Structure 1
Amino acid sequence: MAMWMRFVWLTFGLLLCCGGTGVYCLEREAFLTLANGVECHTQQLGEAWTSGSHAACSVECMVRYPETCQSILYNVDTKTCTPGAVAFAPVPRVNTSIPVANSRDLFYYSSQPVPPCNTSSGDFALYELCGTTVCLNLVFEKASFYDARANCTSMDSRLFIANSLVRFSVFWHVSLTHFNWYTWLGLTDLTTEGVFVWDHGEPLSAEQDKYIWSDGQPDNHGDEDCIIARHLRSGLGNGINDDDCWRKRYYICEPNNAYKAK
């Protein structure tokens, strides 16, 4: 376990002139975590620059990328500042993330908003990974895809939708840590063979299609239309592949109204 340090990033004001007609102040407060780069990665937003400190680096990152700056890499020796997007834990087949292996960069990331989560029943709980927190119900009783989906629906929830790199990272590591076995995703090609759609109606993006699949998958072997995570304990290697929807697997529910899947 790496040692993480929690601290206030900074509160700062920017004076922005609008056509010479007035001045307004934009304040932003954020919290950063210093993490071991092996545990958390990010996607680089743009070219690096030289900055006198990690604090100055973070301010400049938010000025240059006000909507997307969520992390920074800072090298104390070279004073190099690299802007980053939302942090995530490494996943198989994603080899474009930073920091690179054996990097001397310090990696700081901000935490994302915590979604609402009704934990009173004991079914749902909050899980945090690299600054992203999700509300989940991990179901340890195996079920077919159809029964798993129906059970999630009965709890005003849905099978987990991993429709971004960050959300896929959360799903991958939570299912690996707690199940380490086949786990259903809210993704199928039940309507049209070969056209994969998340349970909330969004098609699988071309970007995700490049990295989520195991080698040789999906193969529609035996008319497989539902999608699982396949972890090492299965003996078949890591990755995502299509599966027979009637097979019984573990699954994860997320509340319908917790937040929009992005």
Structure 2
Amino acid sequence: MVSVIKFALYGTLVEVQELHVSAASLERQQIFTKVTSSSLGSDRLGQAWTDQSLAGCGLRCKEKYGSRCQTFMYNSNTGLCTPGSFLKSGTFGAALAPSAAVGDLFAPFSCDTSDGFTHVISGTLAACIMASNFSLNYPEAHALCLHLGAHLFVSRSMQRFNLLPPMIKYVIGLTDIAEEGKFVWQDNGETIIESFKTSLFNSGEPNDIRGEDCVNVRVTGSNHIANDYPCDTFKHRFVCERSYIRY
């Protein structure tokens, strides 16, 4: 399991499943994750110090070096914390990879923000998304997301829908196009869990009343936010989702 942490605004620390670093002086949040490749490393920015936690190590690196702190190394056994510069790969990266004594290397785990994509956070959840300000039917939205190296937004929990702007109807990556009544997620083809389907859809939905095989949602802060609708006929705004860049 990847060791990761979260820094909230102005240096408040919260331990979660991801590491978000932000501060008053930073406009863009960064997510850090443990690098597992032995061919990746970074130049040291200065002398190492001892810190009581992974969170403290990363936060002090950012406080001390600002945007120059692009990586850091932490030994959870000794507390040794080493500030690092940009991640390097290949021969140079392998030569700079940390030893066991130095500890694990942590590097940015980032959102490709080209084409209007942005990193959004809700509680402990995060996503790299582009919420459209125009409407398309499902085939058009699906094709555009694929063209952008993404897929239509998917969510296997009600909480994750809070990543979307509220009170706007969006197309999502859930359909029963292949088999009537069997709704599957576009990202991996998994069938929606029946209990979650019950929570997700409005009362009496999905009903396929007009050959409705696609799904839209309107985030309202409660359950029962989805309806099925005809894929080709109606146009809605949509949300594309990209995977994070990992190491």
TM-score range, shorter chain: 0.5 to 0.7
Q: For the structure 1 residues 259 and 118, does the alpha-carbon distance in structure 2 shift closer, same or farther, using more than 3 Å as the test?
A: closer
Deviation of the 1:238 alpha carbon: 6.5
Superposition misfits of 4+ residues, deviation over 3 angstroms? 27-31
1:7 alignment partner in structure 2: 12
Q: How many residues align?
A: 148
SS of structure 2 residue aligned to 1:211: helix
Runs of at least 5 residues in structure 2 that lack an aligned partner in the other structure: 1-8, 16-51, 57-106
Q: Does 1:220 align with 2:208?
A: yes
Per-residue CA distance 1:79-131 (angstroms, 9 max, x = gap)? xxxxxxxxxxxxxxxxxxxxxxxxxxxxxxxxxx9852112x35111111113
Structure 1 Cα separation of the partners of residues 132 and 193 of structure 2: 27
Residue 141 of structure 1: CA displacement? 1.4
Deviations 1:49-100 (A, max 9, x none): xxxxxxxxxxxxxxxxxxxxxxxxxxxxxxxxxxxxxxxxxxxxxxxxxxxx
Contact 1:182 1:250 in 2 (8 A): yes
Q: Is the aligned partner of 1:188 residue 2:193?
A: no
C-alpha spacing 1:204/1:238, structure 2 compared with 1 (3 Å): closer
CA distance in 1, matches of 2:194, 2:55: 32
Please give the root-mean-square deviation of Cα atoms over the aligned residues, in Å: 3.0
Quote the residue 1:58 is aligned against. Answer: none
Residue of structure 1 equivalent to 2:111: 117
Structure 1 residue 138 displacement after superposition = 1.1
Q: Relative to 1, partners in 2 of residues 1:163 and 1:144: Cα closer, same or farther, differing over 3 Å?
A: same
- In structure 2, do the counterparts of structure 1 residues 196 and 238 end up closer, same or farther at CA, with 3 Å as the change threshold? closer
Question: Residues of 2 paired with 1:194 and 1:249: CA distance?
Answer: 22
If each structure's helix is expressed as a fraction of its own residues, which one has the higher value? 2
Q: Taking every aligned residue pair, what percent have the same amino acid on both sides?
A: 25
Decide which of 206, 226, 247 is 1:240's aligned counterpart.
Answer: 226
Residues 54-203 of structure 1 correspond to what in structure 2 (within 5 A)?
116-119=110-113, 121-170=114-163, 174-176=164-166, 180-200=167-187, 201-203=189-191
Alignment of 1:206-217 (within 5 A): 206-217=194-205
Determine helix, strand or coil for the equivalent of 1:141: coil
Taking the aligned partners of 2:179 and 2:210, their CA distance within structure 1 comes to 16
Q: What TM-score results when the alignment is normalised by the length of structure 1? A: 0.50
Closer, same or farther in 2 for the Cα pair 1:28/1:207, shift >3 Å? farther
CA separation of 1:199/1:115 partners in 2, compared to 1, >3 Å: closer, same or farther? farther
Find the residue that maps to 1:207 and give its secondary structure. Answer: helix
Residue 158 of structure 1 and its aligned partner are, at CA, apart by 0.4
